[in-house]
Amino acid sequence: QVQLVESGGGSVQAGGSLRLSCAAFGYTYSTYYMGMGWFRQAPGKEREGVATINSDGSTKYADSVKGRFTISKDNAKTILYLQMNGLKPEDTAMYYCAASHLTIATMSPTGYNYWGQGTQVTVSS
């Protein structure tokens, strides 16, 4: 089992930055081989993929965040990060990290085995 705990959310003004962290606990050695991702869900909307990282370090981003967000993983510390720059009000949502038994991550939330509890990001105009 792997437990995921997010942190780093908060309230910022448009144009600001935040860095989200997702710490893995439990059988953390396995996270090295896992595809991982960041997702978000705004009120009344479906959960959507924001950024993913495969076990080999390759990444993928939603079009809406390309050039503004960066996903990275510290394998030694088993922490997943999401650096968010140039935040916009439409980025406001609950952000979740997730881990998959597969080495290749998917932008679909159905492909994940473990989820964190979420961290709220609010961007004001």
pLDDT digits (tens, 9 = 90+) for 72-83: 998 777 899 999
Q: What is the pLDDT of residue 32?
A: 78
Q: Using 50, 70 and 90 to split pLDDT, how confident is the model at 62?
A: very high
Q: What is the pLDDT of residue 25?
A: 86
Cβ–Cβ under 8 Å, residues 87 and 14: yes
Query: Is the pLDDT confidence value at 57 over 70?
Result: yes
Q: What is the pLDDT of residue 48?
A: 97
**Radius of gyration over every alpha carbon of the chain, rounded to an integer in angstroms:** 13
Q: What is the pLDDT of residue 38?
A: 98
SS3 assignment, position 103: coil
Q: Using 50, 70 and 90 to split pLDDT, how confident is the model at 45?
A: very high
Written as one string, the DSSP assignment of 27-47 is: SGGGGGGSEEEEEEE-TTS--
